[in-house]
Chain A
Amino acid sequence: MIELSNVVKEYTVIKKKSGLSGSIKSLFKPEKTIVRGVDGISFRIEKGEMVGYLGPNGAGKSTTIKMLTGILHPTSGTVRIGGISPQENRKSVVKQLGVVFGQRTQLYWDLRLGESFELLKRIYRIDEETYQSNLEMMYEVLGIDQLINTPVRQLSLGQRMKGDLAAAMLHSPSILFLDEPTIGLDVEAKQNIRSFIREMNAKRGTTIILTTHDLDDVEQLCKRLIVINHGKVVEDGPLSELILRMAPYRLLVLDLSEMPDPQTLHHHGAELIKQEGLKLTYRFHKSDISASELISGLSAKLSVVDLGVKEPDIEDMIREMYRSSSTA
């Protein structure tokens, strides 16, 4: 469906020199440097998938999305959407795409939200019936009916983002690219946007590619993750599998009623990583021992009053992935 193979994107950056002599010099002999935004990326995404595209700042996420949506031409490699190149056949590809860049609105700053929609209706040649039913749906899911007559520049960030999402869905695209759609939003607005994304994926079967730095987005939305760093793919797989592989540890926290005998603290299936007075923290491998086995083993020796098992979290996993790929 969506296919990238060995895609490289190099940017030409002109170094600005300081001072008058510097700027005269660079006028006649500009000093150009090449920046590799994306350095040989390949992946494939099937119809109806919901994929998180992650990576640290400057990893090349936005660059990839701009190539997938026909904004940028790759320096080398091929990009295909439904078998067609968005660069050679831009118009027919972008017809089926919805794109939202959280950092920059695609709406017209000085138009009312509704006017922007009307304009899109004409540009995409959306027939009246589809337009109305899509608009209806956006009103319902995003609750933007009150905003339709507000100029875009007067919208708050969260309202504008909802407007952008609605605008991206008006022509019923089969693929939706979301580049940081929850950036800078409050908890409530984030939830709205997440349920919108889930709904589009579930009800319409829209393929969704999402970049974000918000781990709750990842946890709640993405079944599959593609992680990049320095312009290269470092991980690609189902979320649960990646967690298991990158952050396989679980933690068991015990509260005791009396000071334990140091001899009794040891357990063969787990490692005691912290002891603070009556609070003990064990780390264990999901595949080595089950939580219940460990608990019954330890509570036989210790006077346990309370306990808690902490699952490995996405934060640990992401940190681990970014760290290991940076040193590699």
Chain B
Amino acid sequence: MVTAIRYHVSVAYFFAKLAVQRQLEYPLFLVSWFLMIPLQYISGVWVLKLMVEQFQALAGWTFPQLAFLYGLGLLSHGLSVIFFIQTWHIDNMVIRGDFDRMLLRPMNVFFQFVVNYVNFIGIIDLIPGFLIFFYGCAQVGFEWTLVNVLKLAAVVIGGMFIRASICTIMGSAAFWTKRSGSLISLTLATMERTTMYPLSVYPKVIQLALTFILPIGFISFYPATDFIGQEDGFTLPVGLAIWTPIVGIVTFAVSHFIFQSGLKRYESAGS
């Protein structure tokens, strides 16, 4: 068990190291990095300003609460861009036969797929998230106690896993349909919309769907209601924030299962 963990960690670490190294080698990388940082910063501030001007209270949520909710969603979005961006391309990888190489290696394919790449550049995607979230925190008077910080970390990481799992499940459809399509972009767009506003603005059916079918509600809405004491529309057991990492683990396990079943139908590519 210990050796198995050490083995997987050492491979993951080496992949990550190579990925970061590779990205740092591009001469344009640092330039674009330095250009992107202020751009991301400005876009974050600009979105905030827009929100202040246009978003007034919504479904009983005050503006600072909305900023908190939106910022929280952006944080897990940023993390998933760094660690799981490859899940956005599963469909293409299936069609192009890119899993051949991983199947030839004596290691779990899903694991190789997940650790295969770290999108180091994606770190800058976190900037607007941090800006909006910290603004929201300050405005709603978020208490930075140890418990809250731990809960927050669990929620953001859980949210990242939920996002990655949903993309993995949608992308794995290509194992059956044999085509890459707009399914993932549709999913990404849906996730963006539905983590931005309180779930309670949507009709009950959609709320239910986004809780039990595609558990997007757990990415930001339910934990935010818990952190800031808002109404959630449902009466789920207390400690809603705790549900996010649990749902994250469960959906990740489900996505792994679906991916593995798909892999049995994998047909590689003609040449």
Instruction: Please give the residue numbers on chain A whose beta carbons come within 8 Å of chain B beta carbons, in ascending order.
Output: 11-14, 30, 62, 66, 69-73, 87, 90-92, 94-95, 97, 99, 101, 103-104, 106, 108, 110-111, 115, 118-120, 122-125
Contacts and interface: CB of A to CB of B under 8 A. Distances in A.
B92 to A, nearest CB: 15
B179 A72 contact: no
Interface stretch (B72-80, B100-108, B195-203): B100-108
Interface of B: 7, 10-11, 14-15, 18, 22, 97, 99-101, 103-108, 112, 177-179, 264-268, 271
Most A C-beta atoms less than 10 A away, residue of B7, B105, B107, B271: B105
Contact of B178 (A14, A99, A118, A124): A14
B179 A14 contact: yes
B106 A91 contact: yes
B101 A106 contact: yes
Nearest to A87: B264
Contact of B103 (A11, A12, A30, A90): A90
Contacts of A97: 104
B106 A94 contact: yes
A87 B104 CA distance: 11
9 contacts: A30-B177, A73-B264, A91-B107, A91-B108, A94-B103, A106-B101, A110-B22, A119-B18, A124-B105
A149 to B, nearest CB: 12
Contacts of B266: 71-73
Nearest to B99: A71
Contacts, number: 71
A146 B189 CA distance: 48
A71 B100 contact: yes
A8 to B, nearest CB: 14
B2 to A, nearest CB: 14
A110 B177 CA distance: 30
A123 B107 contact: yes
A93 to B, nearest CB: 8
B11 to A, nearest CB: 5
A128 B29 CA distance: 34
A94 B105 contact: yes
A125 B42 CA distance: 47
Contacts of B107: 91, 123
Contacts of B18: 108, 111, 115, 119
B100 A123 contact: no
Nearest to B7: A125
Closest 9 CB pairs of A and B: A95-B106, A91-B106, A71-B103, A106-B101, A94-B106, A122-B11, A14-B178, A123-B105, A99-B104
